């Protein structure tokens, strides 16, 4: 009898209660009829959240299969199209194909589409080695296909709502950044910080900098802090200059009205000068008289 699947560390209470099926339903018992099914008529679970499989782990499993065979049958269901769909055991199936096996031992079970999706999600979430993007897509599938809320998922899995929400936010990132997270060139920590950048082009630019320079999450935070401070300084400087230009223009016009002649105010960094034109000595005496008032 196959050993029951262990709950992943840190998954919290009652993960299986989130689903209509549980791991017991994908165990193989002595009463089960084990069939040898051609690998050519098997296809992966269409609801499989895992998109990438570790080449090293598959290689290790392949070598084990070559030496010892497949010790635990895979679980399949009959496909409505042709052949069989894998319910549980896709890694064994992939490793068996790489090992050159033409057939694999399998147990046929009757599962509907919802149960297929539930089992695929359950199997992978329990292992806790999904990439952050795969985990996010798993949460989204549960919500989209089965109608669960973020609160329900968080409660059933013993996770915080922010954990679920933050993972779902990863799906809003540009595709190229999601790919970097999926292949672990950007960590989940990096992604959370990058999501704080509103401009998507800036987000991509900074992400590329992180990858190219191998920045840590802490270094990324410091970089964004410096950029924010620089941007704020530039904005304040622009506002100050705009205010000063407006003030100079207003005062120039006011002085022209007072003296009735051309007046120029010139600024040069921390100092400046006022130039008042006069047309004759009489005009100069008039302006001086105005200044004495």
Catalytic residues: 90
Spatial distance between the Cα atoms of 228 and 214, rounded to a whole number of angstroms? 21
Whether the CB-CB separation of 148 and 117 falls below 8 Å is answered with no
Residue 87 — φ and ψ, nearest 5°? -90, -50
Question: CB-based burial of residue 268 (10 Å sphere; 0-12 exposed, 13-18 middle, 19+ buried)?
Answer: exposed
Q: Are strands 74-78 and 263-268 parallel, antiparallel or unpaired?
A: unpaired
The DSSP result for 13-25, as a single string, is TTSGGGSSS-GGG
Q: State the Cα–Cα distance between residues 146 and 134, nearest whole angstrom.
A: 17
C-alpha dihedral, 229 to 235 to 239 to 244, nearest 10°: 70
Give the list of residues 6+ apart from residue 245 with CB closer than 8 angstroms, or none: none
């Amino acid at each position: 009898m196959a050993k029951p699947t262990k709950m992943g560390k840190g998954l919290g209470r009652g993960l299986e209660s989130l689903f209509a099926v549980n791991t017991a339903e994908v165990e193989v018992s002595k009463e089960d009829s084990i069939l040898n099914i051609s690998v050519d008529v098997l296809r992966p679970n269409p609801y499989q959240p895992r998109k990438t499989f570790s080449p090293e782990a598959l290689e290790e499993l392949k070598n084990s299969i070559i030496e010892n065979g497949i010790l635990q049958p895979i679980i399949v269901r009959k496909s409505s199209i042709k052949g069989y769909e894998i319910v549980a055991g896709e890694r064994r199936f992939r490793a068996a194909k790489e090992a050159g096996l033409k057939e694999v031992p399998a147990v046929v079970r009757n599962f509907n589409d919802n149960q297929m999706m539930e089992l695929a999600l359950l199997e992978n979430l329990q292992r806790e080695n999904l990439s952050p993007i795969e985990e996010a897509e798993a949460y989204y599938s549960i919500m989209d296909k089965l109608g669960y809320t973020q609160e329900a998922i968080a409660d059933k899995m013993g996770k915080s709502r922010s954990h679920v929400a933050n993972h779902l936010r990863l799906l809003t990132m540009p595709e190229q950044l999601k790919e970097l997270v999926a292949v672990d060139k950007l960590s989940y920590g990096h992604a959370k910080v990058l999501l704080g950048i509103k401009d998507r082009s800036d987000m991509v630019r900074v992400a590329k900098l992180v990858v190219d320079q191998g920045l840590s999450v802490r270094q990324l935070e410091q970089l964004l802090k410096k950029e924010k401070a620089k941007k704020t300084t530039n904005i304040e400087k622009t506002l100050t200059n705009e205010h000063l230009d407006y003030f100079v223009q207003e005062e120039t016009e006011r002085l022209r009205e007072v003296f009735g002649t051309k007046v120029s105010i010139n600024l040069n960094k921390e100092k400046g000068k006022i130039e008042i034109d006069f047309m004759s000595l009489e005009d100069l005496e008039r302006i001086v008289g105005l200044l004495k008032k």
